[in-house]
Amino acid sequence: MRPTPYVASLRIYEPITAFAPAEQLRWAALSAEQSTESEEQERALRRMIAIEPPALQPDGAHILDIDDRRYVSPWSTATRCWSALGDFKESMPLPVTRFFVPENIEEAITINSELMEDKVPHIISETWMIPPRWFSLFEASDRNRGHDSNGAFTVLRTPISKAKERCMFSHQTVVSSFGVGPIEQEIADLLEWLNLFHSESLVELDYGGLAEYLAQILIADGQSGIDADTSVEDLHLSLAGLASGDGAMAGQGYERLITRWRRVAAMESAT
């Protein structure tokens, strides 16, 4: 079982040549066969138990070797921790956040924060849910799924150029249908993030441990497990409905998608 079975990740893999020479040497020394997903998750669990300043720890990366070319997705642990802290502090009044994040932990996270302000994380994660906008970056043909030692898995991967085209279509469709607003802004933010990376990068959506929860739900419904997941297809059906002015089609796809993932999210209270 995965160390953190409730996490899904959206990753950017940049060509190794997009990194500084010192980083290229470091990433070139890593093995693409190493189980970096488990190591990243295990370190995340350790940080929940003991205070570990992420900026002072050696970081790792996920590696892909495709067609004799190496792609790298750094964990960006310090940047992600610092960014998550900032988002959390903005979501609540300052007097309240102090009860959740003690001063010594905040100090550990913000060590050398001035070095992180201009850094962009290559990985964004969600717990117990995959945002619908993530599915808009992929087609069904980008999907690889099955079972391994951790149970069911689903991974989608596509060139960043295609992901940006699909993201722009989603944004235009939503704006045309609903105007500007929170949903449109979330898609715009996703596109802005994609635009920060090398034009020959790869974008990957990894269901992580959520694939196993989803498989269990689908089997309970009498379906074939993870192979019956149509999240990508449902999202594109919804977008096609919006683009053509067919509200019934749009609603059908979106309702199917959201209902499925709400049931996965409900597993949080059951575990």
pLDDT digits (tens, 9 = 90+) for 254-267: 999 999 999 999 98
pLDDT in tens, 37-58: 666 555 555 554 445 555 445 5
Classify 64 as helix, strand or coil.
Answer: strand
> Mean pLDDT of all residues in the chain?
83
C-alpha span between 163 and 234 (Å, rounded): 17
pLDDT of residue 31: 81
Please list the residues that pair with 144 across neighbouring strands.
155
State the average pLDDT over residues 123-129. 91
For CA atoms 205, 209, 213, 216, the dihedral sign is positive
Of residues 33, 71, 39, 70, the one with CA closest to residue 57: 39
- Helix residue ranges, H only, the chain: 21-28, 36-49, 77-91, 94-100, 103-110, 132-135, 160-178, 182-194, 210-220, 231-244, 247-270
pLDDT at 36 over 90: no
